[in-house]
């Protein structure tokens, strides 16, 4: 166990554990930045929009309650509400009142949203391949998937997002 002093706080660190965490968050940020840039440069919806459209498109009836959408895209309700408002202004989703619960609202993907999602998917998938999956063997990808699913399952109960583009 190595001791480090950081802003007058002494913290016991296991270097390998911190390095693993740092590698994960750094790789995540860099790859997302590359994919985001490619989408924007191609005139396609930004990655946050793509994620919302992907979840809505995969949902039963192509709609989700706002709280369920927030859980699936891993954003706060407030943030997902603002994001859906932005996407709705572009005509890619609609807010629809829940007829069974006057307090709840569904976000529903529009036909234009589905078109934009289909146009963005090849660029998004190519970015994942170029900047992430091509760097690993099939066995390494399986191991990485298993490890990250374990983390997700631990912290999200049994709910682990299962997405497909």
CB neighbours of 160 closer than 8 A, spacing ≥ 6? 149, 152, 153
Segments making up each domain of the chain, as ranges: 44-155
Cβ 72 vs Cβ 33: under 8 Å: no
What is the tens place of the pLDDT at every residue in 62-98? 999 998 998 888 777 788 899 999 999 999 999 999 8
Q: Which fold has domain 44-155?
A: Arc Repressor Mutant, subunit A (1.10.10)
Structure tokens at 131: 């900047």
pLDDT for the residue 44: 92
What is the tens place of the pLDDT at every residue in 12-50? 667 778 889 999 999 999 999 999 999 999 999 999 999
């Amino acid at each position: 166990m190595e001791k480090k002093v950081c802003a007058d706080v002494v913290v016991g660190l296991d270097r390998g554990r911190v390095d693993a965490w740092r590698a994960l968050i750094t790789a995540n940020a860099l790859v997302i930045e590359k994919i985001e840039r490619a989408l924007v440069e191609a005139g396609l919806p930004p990655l946050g929009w793509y994620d919302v459209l992907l979840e809505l498109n995969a949902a039963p009836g192509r709609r989700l309650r706002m709280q369920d959408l927030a859980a699936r895209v891993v954003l706060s309700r407030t943030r997902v509400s603002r994001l859906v408002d932005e996407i709705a202004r572009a005509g890619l989703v609609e807010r629809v009142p829940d007829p069974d619960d006057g307090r709840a609202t569904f976000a529903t993907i529009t036909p234009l949203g589905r078109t934009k999602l289909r146009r963005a998917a090849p660029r998004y998938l190519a970015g994942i391949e170029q900047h992430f999956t091509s760097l690993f063997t099939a066995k390494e990808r399986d191991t990485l998937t298993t490890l990250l699913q374990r983390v997700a399952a631990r912290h999200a109960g049994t709910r682990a997002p299962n997405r497909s583009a």
